[in-house]
Amino acid sequence: MDRPCVLALGFFDGVHLGHGGLLKKTREVADRLGLPAAALTFDTHPDTLVFGVNVPLLNTPQEREFIMRTYYGIDEVRTLHFDRATMEQPWQDFVRTTLSAQHRAAFVVCGHDFRFGARAEGTPERLQALCGTLGIGCACIPKITLEGETVSSTLIRSLLEQGEAARAVRFLGHPHILSGTVVSGQKLGRTLGIPTANLRPAEGILIPRFGVYAGWAGFDGQRRMAVVNIGVRPTVHGDAVTVEPWLLDFDGDLYGHELRLELTDFLRPERRFTSLDALQEEIRRNAAQTRALLQEQQTERTNRHT
Domain residue ranges in the chain: 5-149, 175-304
pLDDT band at 245 (very low <50, low <70, confident <90, very high): very high
- Give yes or no on whether 5-149 and 175-304 have one common fold: no
Q: What is the pLDDT of residues 161-170, one digit of tens each?
A: 999 999 999 9
Q: Decide if domain 5-149 falls under CATH 3.40.50.620.
A: yes
Query: What confidence score (pLDDT) does residue 2 get?
Result: 74
pLDDT tens for each residue of 148-201: 999 999 999 999 999 999 999 999 999 999 999 998 765 555 555 688 898 988
Is there a contact between 82 and 49 (Cβ–Cβ < 8 Å)?
yes
Query: Taking a C-beta distance cutoff of 8 angstroms, is the pair 181, 258 a contact?
Result: yes
pLDDT number for residue 87? 84
| Residue-wise pLDDT tens digits, 248-265 | 999 888 888 899 999 999
Strands, E, within 68-206: which ranges? 76-80, 105-111, 137-141, 145-146, 149-150, 176-183, 198-201
> What is the rounded CA–CA span in Å between residue 9 and residue 105?
11
Q: In this structure, are strands 37-42 and 76-80 parallel, antiparallel, or unpaired? A: parallel
- Going by their DSSP bridges, the two strands 211-219 and 222-231 should be labelled as antiparallel
pLDDT confidence tier of residue 235, bands split at 50, 70 and 90: low
- What distances in angstroms separate CA 106 from CA 1, 7, 16, 126, one per listed residue? 12, 8, 25, 17
Q: Which of 79, 19, 11, 91 is nearest to 46 (CA)?
A: 11
Query: What number is the average pLDDT over the span 35-41?
Result: 96
Confidence of residue 302 (pLDDT cuts 50, 70, 90): confident
Domain 175-304, second-level architecture: Beta Barrel (2.40)
Q: CA 204 to CA 213: how far, in whole Å?
A: 21
State the average pLDDT over residues 284-292: 95
Q: Is the pLDDT of residue 48 over 90?
A: no
Is the CB of residue 72 less than 8 Å from the CB of residue 20?
A: yes
